[in-house]
Amino acid sequence: MSEEEKMISGELYNSSDKQLVEKLINAKKLCNQYNKLDVDDTENRNKIIKQLFSKTGKNFMIMPNFYCDYGFNIEIGENFYSNHNLVILDANKVTIGNNVQIGPNCGLYTSGHPIDKNLRRKVEFAKPITIGSDVWIGGNVCIMPGVTIGDNTVIGAGSVVTKDIQSNVIAYRKSLQSDKRNIRKKG
Protein backbone atom coordinates (compact mmCIF):
# COMPACT_ATOMS: atom_id res chain seq x y z
CA MET A 1 0.00 0.00 0.00
CA SER A 2 1.39 3.41 -0.96
CA GLU A 3 1.76 6.21 1.59
CA GLU A 4 -1.03 8.10 -0.22
CA GLU A 5 -3.35 5.10 0.10
CA LYS A 6 -2.51 4.84 3.80
CA MET A 7 -3.14 8.58 4.21
CA ILE A 8 -6.57 8.46 2.57
CA SER A 9 -7.59 5.31 4.44
CA GLY A 10 -6.84 6.93 7.82
CA GLU A 11 -3.84 4.74 8.64
CA LEU A 12 -0.51 6.02 9.90
CA TYR A 13 1.57 7.25 6.96
CA ASN A 14 4.87 8.95 6.21
CA SER A 15 4.11 12.51 5.06
CA SER A 16 7.71 12.85 3.83
CA ASP A 17 7.06 10.32 1.07
CA LYS A 18 8.49 11.68 -2.19
CA GLN A 19 5.25 11.36 -4.19
CA LEU A 20 3.20 13.02 -1.44
CA VAL A 21 5.69 15.88 -1.14
CA GLU A 22 5.54 16.46 -4.91
CA LYS A 23 1.72 16.66 -4.77
CA LEU A 24 1.90 18.95 -1.74
CA ILE A 25 4.33 21.31 -3.49
CA ASN A 26 2.14 21.40 -6.60
CA ALA A 27 -0.91 22.36 -4.53
CA LYS A 28 1.08 25.04 -2.65
CA LYS A 29 2.19 26.53 -5.98
CA LEU A 30 -1.43 26.67 -7.17
CA CYS A 31 -2.50 28.30 -3.89
CA ASN A 32 0.25 30.91 -4.30
CA GLN A 33 -0.93 31.66 -7.86
CA TYR A 34 -4.50 31.92 -6.61
CA ASN A 35 -3.61 34.30 -3.80
CA LYS A 36 -1.65 36.60 -6.15
CA LEU A 37 -4.59 37.13 -8.55
CA ASP A 38 -6.75 40.23 -8.35
CA VAL A 39 -9.89 39.58 -6.32
CA ASP A 40 -12.03 40.45 -9.36
CA ASP A 41 -10.26 37.92 -11.62
CA THR A 42 -12.98 35.36 -10.92
CA GLU A 43 -12.42 33.38 -14.12
CA ASN A 44 -8.76 32.56 -13.41
CA ARG A 45 -9.34 32.07 -9.69
CA ASN A 46 -12.11 29.56 -10.39
CA LYS A 47 -9.91 27.72 -12.92
CA ILE A 48 -7.25 27.22 -10.26
CA ILE A 49 -9.78 25.98 -7.69
CA LYS A 50 -11.25 23.56 -10.24
CA GLN A 51 -7.73 22.36 -10.97
CA LEU A 52 -7.04 21.86 -7.24
CA PHE A 53 -10.32 20.39 -5.97
CA SER A 54 -11.78 17.03 -6.98
CA LYS A 55 -15.29 18.54 -7.20
CA THR A 56 -16.90 21.99 -7.18
CA GLY A 57 -20.34 23.36 -7.76
CA LYS A 58 -20.92 25.90 -10.53
CA ASN A 59 -21.21 28.82 -8.12
CA PHE A 60 -18.55 29.34 -5.47
CA MET A 61 -16.33 32.07 -4.08
CA ILE A 62 -13.22 31.64 -1.97
CA MET A 63 -11.69 34.91 -0.85
CA PRO A 64 -7.90 35.06 -0.81
CA ASN A 65 -5.83 34.07 0.98
CA PHE A 66 -6.61 30.38 0.67
CA TYR A 67 -4.34 27.46 1.51
CA CYS A 68 -4.63 23.68 1.29
CA ASP A 69 -2.26 20.72 1.40
CA TYR A 70 -3.24 18.65 -1.64
CA GLY A 71 -6.55 19.93 -2.99
CA PHE A 72 -7.54 16.63 -4.59
CA ASN A 73 -9.29 15.56 -1.38
CA ILE A 74 -11.62 18.60 -1.32
CA GLU A 75 -15.20 18.64 -2.63
CA ILE A 76 -17.49 21.66 -2.38
CA GLY A 77 -21.15 21.91 -3.36
CA GLU A 78 -23.18 24.70 -4.94
CA ASN A 79 -23.12 28.24 -3.57
CA PHE A 80 -20.03 27.77 -1.41
CA TYR A 81 -18.50 30.91 0.10
CA SER A 82 -15.48 31.33 2.32
CA ASN A 83 -14.09 34.56 3.65
CA HIS A 84 -10.37 35.38 3.89
CA ASN A 85 -7.72 32.99 5.22
CA LEU A 86 -9.39 29.61 4.89
CA VAL A 87 -6.95 26.74 5.53
CA ILE A 88 -7.91 23.18 4.58
CA LEU A 89 -5.37 20.54 5.53
CA ASP A 90 -6.80 17.85 3.29
CA ALA A 91 -4.67 14.78 3.88
CA ASN A 92 -8.03 13.01 3.94
CA LYS A 93 -11.37 13.75 2.32
CA VAL A 94 -13.07 17.08 3.04
CA THR A 95 -16.65 17.06 1.76
CA ILE A 96 -18.70 20.25 1.96
CA GLY A 97 -22.38 20.41 0.96
CA ASN A 98 -24.46 23.10 -0.76
CA ASN A 99 -25.07 26.63 0.52
CA VAL A 100 -22.20 26.61 3.01
CA GLN A 101 -20.68 29.85 4.30
CA ILE A 102 -17.39 29.99 6.19
CA GLY A 103 -16.19 33.08 8.05
CA PRO A 104 -12.64 34.46 8.05
CA ASN A 105 -9.61 32.75 9.56
CA CYS A 106 -11.07 29.25 9.70
CA GLY A 107 -9.26 25.93 9.53
CA LEU A 108 -10.41 22.46 8.55
CA TYR A 109 -7.75 20.03 9.71
CA THR A 110 -7.91 16.36 8.71
CA SER A 111 -4.35 15.75 9.90
CA GLY A 112 -3.37 14.52 13.33
CA HIS A 113 -0.25 13.24 15.02
CA PRO A 114 0.43 10.35 17.43
CA ILE A 115 0.89 11.25 21.08
CA ASP A 116 3.99 9.05 21.37
CA LYS A 117 6.94 11.30 20.46
CA ASN A 118 8.96 8.57 18.76
CA LEU A 119 6.05 7.58 16.54
CA ARG A 120 5.15 11.24 15.91
CA ARG A 121 8.63 11.83 14.46
CA LYS A 122 7.96 9.23 11.74
CA VAL A 123 4.26 9.22 10.86
CA GLU A 124 0.95 11.03 11.08
CA PHE A 125 -2.70 10.21 10.36
CA ALA A 126 -5.68 11.88 8.74
CA LYS A 127 -9.45 11.49 9.27
CA PRO A 128 -12.15 12.86 6.93
CA ILE A 129 -14.25 15.95 7.60
CA THR A 130 -17.83 16.21 6.35
CA ILE A 131 -19.89 19.40 6.42
CA GLY A 132 -23.54 19.15 5.42
CA SER A 133 -25.64 21.62 3.42
CA ASP A 134 -26.92 24.99 4.64
CA VAL A 135 -24.17 25.32 7.25
CA TRP A 136 -22.74 28.61 8.51
CA ILE A 137 -19.36 28.52 10.20
CA GLY A 138 -18.42 31.72 12.04
CA GLY A 139 -14.97 33.33 12.05
CA ASN A 140 -11.93 31.75 13.69
CA VAL A 141 -13.42 28.25 13.85
CA CYS A 142 -11.22 25.13 13.87
CA ILE A 143 -12.71 21.84 12.71
CA MET A 144 -10.63 18.87 13.77
CA PRO A 145 -9.98 15.44 12.17
CA GLY A 146 -12.90 13.06 11.78
CA VAL A 147 -15.68 15.58 12.47
CA THR A 148 -19.07 15.56 10.73
CA ILE A 149 -21.31 18.63 10.91
CA GLY A 150 -24.96 18.04 10.03
CA ASP A 151 -27.22 20.04 7.71
CA ASN A 152 -28.69 23.41 8.67
CA THR A 153 -26.24 23.94 11.52
CA VAL A 154 -24.47 27.07 12.74
CA ILE A 155 -21.03 26.89 14.36
CA GLY A 156 -20.37 30.02 16.42
CA ALA A 157 -17.25 32.14 16.01
CA GLY A 158 -14.17 31.00 17.89
CA SER A 159 -15.35 27.40 18.32
CA VAL A 160 -13.05 24.39 18.20
CA VAL A 161 -15.10 21.47 16.87
CA THR A 162 -13.67 18.17 18.11
CA LYS A 163 -16.81 15.99 17.93
CA ASP A 164 -19.66 15.48 15.48
CA ILE A 165 -22.40 18.12 15.51
CA GLN A 166 -25.90 17.00 14.60
CA SER A 167 -28.20 18.70 12.08
CA ASN A 168 -30.38 21.71 12.94
CA VAL A 169 -28.42 23.06 15.91
CA ILE A 170 -26.40 26.09 16.90
CA ALA A 171 -23.09 25.06 18.46
CA TYR A 172 -20.76 27.59 20.07
CA ARG A 173 -18.34 28.30 22.90
CA LYS A 174 -20.11 30.25 25.60
CA SER A 175 -17.08 32.29 26.62
CA LEU A 176 -13.32 32.27 26.85
CA GLN A 177 -13.62 31.27 30.51
CA SER A 178 -15.59 28.14 29.64
CA ASP A 179 -14.34 25.03 27.89
CA LYS A 180 -17.86 23.64 27.56
CA ARG A 181 -19.49 23.42 24.17
CA ASN A 182 -23.12 24.52 24.26
CA ILE A 183 -25.61 23.04 21.86
CA ARG A 184 -29.10 24.42 21.51
CA LYS A 185 -31.85 23.05 19.25
CA LYS A 186 -33.15 25.54 16.69
CA GLY A 187 -36.75 26.70 16.69
pLDDT tens for the 187 residues of the chain, in order: 999 999 999 999 999 999 999 999 999 999 999 999 998 999 999 999 999 999 999 999 999 999 999 999 999 999 999 999 999 999 999 999 999 999 999 999 999 999 999 999 999 999 999 999 999 999 999 999 999 999 999 999 999 999 999 999 999 876 544 344 455 555 4
Distance CA(181)–CA(172), nearest Å, equals 6
Q: Do the beta carbons of residue 63 and residue 38 sit within 8 Å? A: no
Indicate which residues carry an active-site annotation.
Answer: 113
Q: Do the beta carbons of residue 77 and residue 133 sit within 8 Å? A: yes
Considering the entire predicted model, what is its pTM?
0.91
What are the chain's domains? Answer: 3-185 (2.160.10.10)
Distance CA(84)–CA(140), nearest Å, equals 11
In single-letter form, the type of residue at position 74 comes to I
- For 108-154, the DSSP string reads EE-EE--SSHHHHTT-BEE--EEE-SS-EE-TT-EE-TT-EE-SS-E
Q: What letter would DSSP give residue 59?
A: S
Distance CA(123)–CA(137), nearest Å, equals 31
